Structure 1
């Protein structure tokens, strides 16, 4: 059922309060396709390509994917990711991974990715792999960076007959990206000062990539910030021995590490505002992943979580059920009976239940600035598109 007026858009959210709601959850869509960049928070299977791996991928093994897909798909969760819920809410199919070497035929590419394409790769950083190799902090999973994904994107556009028309009707999601840049340093024991010095460089590179995308024809973009890393089992385990009671907030998260995440997000918001002023015709939404996630730690019972909000569902023991030497997917690891009662899936990534709640908050506009509804109306006004009832 087409809407009679393009100036008024009704968003009907049918997400139920239960994290186990069905895949029929939907929202009237504004876009014909979604283009995604990022890391494991958005990767829908690119990391399964052998040439992109520097070491075996845990998400290729059970129990990954057990909740929704009932098999591993390369997603680092028990089910769907935020990007999956956004696609479903807009009536679009789940995004296919780009898989560079498998998509050389331009005609096949157009058919395969007409409703969306995903360049995100688990382990990807914003800055180049070579940069981290020089300072001895390279990722062990992949050598793909945001720059690599941008080059794939250029190649992808070259195979389209009218790339600008495609992008006018696309929602481009930039990340989350940048978290792995800091993880490389955190997991190798680098100091907080070293991490903080990296933030302006990372944010600047994200900003320059966004401007490159704009020059290529992108007109609507969602740019997420970082999660509260001080609440993740991987970080809580890493700093467990060196932390004192004063380092934790009342929820048990590391205060100083959450402040670091907020510092990244603060600089990112400033960079996005700078870009908005340079390109007023472009719609740029900031997605507040930090606060959308933090509310779950602050009021877990309200969102249906149990009493182990800082422990992972899948792991190999310890205070936070995270062991870097035996992570989820390894023979030594075990999995909880009900992932929907946990926020953390494997100590680094979240459960489908948590991702659903975050996606819901974003789509409702509570944690996006500007809101999805405002941007949708703006997009329709500019492109004179028609929104259909899926």
Structure 2
């Protein structure tokens, strides 16, 4: 047998092995089942997949640098938690409701936008820096989306969900951080605490309205420990005695715990009033707190230091110039640039988590150990890897 013939046989065998692996993967995906045919998400920048920048196009690099290699509407270097959840359920990334070009809504829609609040700005005493797309607006968008989808389906429109999909969907909420932090440096925590009961009440009433539209499964993410975020460590007034051994602000973190307990109780009461619904409190706070306190235990290096920012030091955050922007400060052009290793950081830009941190949080959610009451996504779906 000639050398050329042997090489041809080796090449053929390699092709056959590759084909077998590929077919096995395709068959595995074909066999994957999930009772949730769509996800509808409500939130702020922590779960925005492009809504804000569809409405106000201005996003710049280095956002998106890790996974997408370009800005794609996420306020981080890559994927957000809702991206990982969609991937695990075998669904495509959620198209933003406000993005008219290139969107596919057959498997849900994302109503989240950067800077969104639960309450209307005038209700929560906000004066600046808040999105017009509060939770009430997002709910109205959802209602309009459902009505229009059902109307257009009859005329053969594509890229829209089937009329019966709304009962077969997972409804996720990751919102409330801006109600808590929006003007915290100006009005103080005592004023904020006055309207936090309204925040949890609005979330509960939104769930009840979606229930009337057919929704039956709701995951509500609680708030992360804001006292550990670089931006708030720089912006919020505090004394050195207010900082714990991990570099986080005790006073503000305790306030977040109070809010989360309030949310948990409100969801319990909502669950009791909706007998055939799954209303699940999802504790990401404990996961994020662990990452901030012990980053090296999770193959990271930096907890309370931002990857993308300006100033270096303990926090690498300057509130005058945000990630990716350039600004004239004291007669000098200053640019907030990104680190080259965001996978070593919990915080991307001082306010949002990195893809690496989001992936760890998503894995904890999928594990099912951070739900109250106990709830298993694996009972409904064949969970796919989130590589």
The aligned residue for residue 63 of structure 1 is 62
Using the alignment, how far apart are the partners of 1:370 and 1:329 within structure 2? 41
Q: Quick check: 279-288 or 77-86, which moved more?
A: 279-288
Q: Give the CA deviation at 1:197.
A: 0.8
Instruction: Give me the whole-angstrom Cα distance separating, in 1, the residues matched to 2:220 and 2:294.
Output: 26
Q: 1:209 to 1:139 in 2, by over 3 A?
A: farther
- 2:303 equivalent to 1:309: yes
Report the counterpart of residue 352 of structure 2 in structure 1.
349
RMSD (Å) for aligned C-alpha atoms: 2.3
Total equivalences in the alignment: 336
- Asked which structure has the greater RCO (Cα within 8 Å, sep 6+), the reply is 1
Of 337, 344, 368, the match for 1:334: 337
Within 5 Å, which residues of 2 pair with 1:87-126? 87-99=86-98, 102=100, 112-126=104-118
Of 340, 348, 363 in structure 2, the residue corresponding to residue 360 of structure 1 is 363
1:131 and 2:123 matched: yes
Contact kept in structure 2, 1:364 and 1:372, CA below 8 Å: no
Q: Which runs of 5+ in 2 are unaligned?
A: 1-28, 151-160, 327-334
Go from structure 1 to structure 2 and tell me whether the alpha carbon gap of 1:207 and 1:245 turns closer, same or farther (over 3 Å shift).
Answer: same
Q: Which whole-Å CA distance do the structure 2 matches of 1:287 and 1:63 have between them?
A: 30
Give, in angstroms, the shift of residue 267 of structure 1. 0.5
- In the TM superposition, 1:15-164 aligns within 5 A as 29-50=34-55, 53=56, 57=58, 60-99=59-98, 102=100, 112-132=104-124, 135=125, 137-140=126-129, 142-161=131-150
Shift of 1:116: 1.8
CA distance in 2, matches of 1:357, 1:261: 21
CA contact (8 A) 2:90 2:383 kept: no
Question: Which blocks of at least 5 consecutive residues in structure 1 are unaligned?
Answer: 1-23, 381-385
SS at match of 2:317: coil
- How far is the alpha carbon of 1:249 from its aligned partner? 1.5
Match of 1:314, SS?
A: coil
Q: TM-score, normalised by structure 2?
A: 0.81
Q: Distance in 2 between matches of 1:372 and 1:171?
A: 13
Shift of 1:354: 0.2
Picking from 223, 248, 266, the partner of 1:271 is 266
